[in-house]
Amino acid sequence: MYILLETLADLWRLLDRRGRVLALGLVVLLIITGMFEMGAIVFLFGYIGALSETGSGNPVEDLYRGIGGGLEGRAFALAAGVLLLFVFLMKNVTGLLTSFLLLRFSMKRFERVSEALYAGYLGTRLELWQQKGTAGARQVLASAGIVFRGSFNAALSALSDIAIIVTILLTLLFVLDARFVLIGGLVIGLGGYSFVMLTRSLSETLGRRQLEAQKTTQMLMQEGFGGLIDIRLGDRRETMVSRYVSAVRGFTLADRRSAGLRSVPRAANEVLLATGIVMAAVYFAGRPGGMQAALPTLAVAGFAGLRVTAAVSRLTAALQQMRERREERRLMMTAIRETAPAILLGEAATSPDDYLHEDRPLPAGVSGRLEDRIAVDDVSFTYPDADLPAIDHVSLEIPRGHFVGFCGPSGGGKSTLARLIMGLIRPDTGTIRCDGWDIFRHLRAWHANIGHVGQTVYIAPRNVRENVAFGYEPREINDQAVWRALELARLGDFIRQQPDGLATHLGEDGVKLSGGQRQRLSIARALYHDPDVLVFDEATAALDTVTEAEVTGAIARLSGAKTVIAIAHRLSTLRGCDRIHVVDGGRIVAEGTYRELERTSPEFRKLTGGEGDP
């Protein structure tokens, strides 16, 4: 039973004030359902008693006789039967209503939790996100539904079954011989309890195995499809398939065993019930009045026995299910605590891990656009888990409209510096200001200024329009702005040649595009919301020279109108820069124009190697 309390406590934690009121309402409803359950037994007992005229002393018998008036025989059975049917109808209507409301209650909380988790993950600060990886997030989101069904729905249905069992047993205590009821209840209760206790660790193990197997299959899918070419060339297909099959087998085996385990109590209870009926018959057959007198008792014991044993079977199955889902439930609760704590408090507070934590609107009179300059002042940043700072006391200024380059050896800190300037990660010390306002106090406003083209481009399996206006609802998309962005990125002609134009589907991961086209699509995406600042992070590193020239041309045409920050692997991209910063060991070790640096900086000359001017 501890698992039930533990699960209910977790569910309670997930409820806001309104949810808690609703939950209490549901408990009242459960009690009412229990009362109807009692009523059904009392009325059934009375009905059979009134018909068999045994005079069992049940007050309901008098009620039936009152209704039946002077009627006899069939007419009486029918008239009194109508009342019985009405009671049963009410019992089942409330029963159905209760289980419907319980399910609805739980599923509504599931919607809320899924929303909060997805929003929380999308909002997790980048440095933490990179540290944790995406697999855990996917796992938690995918298993939230399973947790709700297997843990919380099961806990609620367990509650309603407990209500049924308790009320039926209490009623039987009054209606039937108390010894019978106590012995029967004890046998079935102890049977169920010992079964649950005996299989406790097995259930948990089976649940854990299922979870492990699911994780493995997901990982193998990712590895298999992501590393398809390497697997083919390395002739690794068989190994991958056998790993996959063994994970699937692990899953089905655990799943089969737990399903088998769940159906044992029902079978055992049915046999127990039949035994009880036979024993009662044997007992009554030898008593004065014989079977005739025992009829109401047997009928009620049979009916109540069926109800109780069914409820006990459901209860043990629910307890077992909660055990199997314990691990997943704990993972989900931990994820909620870290990623979406607001729903635990029932408040609209954001997590301190959220990138918009404490974000404020801009003060009146500040446009939010970059009008003068970006100022980085004495900024340092160390990644979580890292020993050395990735950026170490860096200061620099970027005037509006400038084309600025970052270069330096790999791992020197260029990308980190760019991420800091974009406001994607927060400096440990120092400030970054746009025209005097701190970008980290007004991140939403700052991000509206920034377009980013990264080293790798994510192409969604959607059409061109939705890939350029990424994340917008189709009805919100301004086609004119899409075309303008495509023209600036020199992709307009290519899209016009496609029969479907903007509606052309790009296939999964943009397989229909060449490397250069992907990069230009990414540029168009960055330009769609007409930002003031464009950041190109090694945007041309993966391209051949001709394509690089095209993309670099597209970038160069933008400078002047836009403020451009380019991180470059190939230094030729940076020839037209107003200023180049050489970043090494997290510091700016040299700065100037291309020609100045060539003359004055040995670090720069080392980077240019054979690339420099003849």
- Taking the alpha carbons of 514, 520, 526, 530 in that order, is the dihedral positive or negative? negative
Shortest reach from residue 388's CB to ligand ADP, in Å: 7
Dist. CA 95–CA 34, nearest whole Å: 9
Q: Which is nearer to ligand ADP, 416 or 449 (CB)?
A: 416
Contact present, 418 and 583 (Cβ < 8 Å): no
Give the residue with the Cβ less far from ligand ADP, 394 or 464: 394
How far is it, in rounded angstroms, from Cα 191 to Cα 559? 79
Work out how close the CB of 581 gets to ligand ADP at its nearest, in angstroms, rounded to a whole number: 11
- Nearest CA-CA partner of 517 in 488, 490, 498, 541: 490
For residue 334, the minimal CB distance to ligand ADP (Å) is 22
Q: Distance (Å, rounded) from C-alpha 607 to C-alpha 159?
A: 70
Using the minimum distance from each CB to ligand ADP, give the nearer residue, 405 or 412. Answer: 412
Q: Of 99 and 382, which has the nearer Cβ to ligand ADP?
A: 382
> Measured from the CB of residue 114, what is the shortest distance to ligand ADP in angstroms?
27
At 405, which helix (H) or strand (E)? strand 403-407
Structure tokens at 388: 């050395």
Q: Decide whether 83 or 539 has the Cβ nearer to ligand ADP.
A: 539
Q: Are 33 and 95 in contact (CB under 8 A)?
A: yes
Q: Which is nearer to ligand ADP, 217 or 382 (CB)?
A: 382
Asked if residues 445 and 368 have their Cβ atoms less than 8 Å apart, the reply is yes
Nearer Cβ to ligand ADP (44/420): 420
Residue 517 burial by Cβ neighbours in a 10 Å radius (0-12, 13-18, 19+): buried
- Residues in contact with ligand ADP by CB under 6 A are 130, 383, 386, 390, 408, 410-416
What tokens were used for 362? 């801009």
CA distance 49 to 61: 7
Nearest approach in angstroms of CB 339 to ligand ADP is 18
Written as six digits, the tokens of 74 are: 């069939």
Query: Is the distance from CB of 432 to CB of 424 less than 8 angstroms?
Result: no
Q: What is the spatial distance between Cα 203 and Cα 522, in angstroms, rounded to a whole number?
A: 49
Nearer to ligand ADP, 319 or 418 (CB): 418
Question: Would you say 379 and 427 are in contact if contact means Cβ atoms under 8 Å apart?
Answer: yes
CB of 384 to ligand ADP, least distance (A): 7
Least distance to ligand ADP from the beta carbon of 151, Å? 34
Tokens of 232: 């083919």
CB within 8 A of 437, min separation 6: which ones?
Answer: 362, 363, 366
Nearer to ligand ADP, 341 or 408 (CB): 408
H-only helix segments in 514-612: 515-528, 545-558, 594-600, 602-608
Cβ nearer to ligand ADP, comparing 185 with 412: 412
Write down the least CB distance from residue 139 to ligand ADP, Å: 20
| Least distance from ligand ADP to the Cβ atom of residue 398, Å | 17
Q: What is the 3-state secondary structure (H, E, C) of 90-152?
A: HHHHHHHHHHHHHHHHHHHHHHHHHHHHHHHHHHECHHHHHHHCCHHHHHHHHHHHHHHHHHH
**Which of 154/535 has CB closer to ligand ADP?**
535
* 290-324 helix and 237-285 helix, angle to the nearest 10 degrees: 160
Total residue length of the chain: 614
Category of 579 on φ-ψ map: left (φ > 0), alpha (ψ -120 to 50) or beta: beta
Least separation, in Å, of the C-beta of 108 and ligand ADP? 37
Q: Which is nearer to ligand ADP, 343 or 420 (CB)?
A: 420
Given the complex with ligand ADP, which of 162 and 457 has the nearer CB atom?
457
* Nearest approach, Cβ of residue 602 and ligand ADP (Å): 19
From the CB of 544, what's the least distance to ligand ADP, in Å? 21
Beta-strand pair 403-407/391-399: unpaired
Task: Report, in Å, the least distance between residue 496 CB and ligand ADP.
Answer: 36
For residues 253 and 267, give the distance between their C-alpha atoms in angstroms, rounded to a whole number. Answer: 21
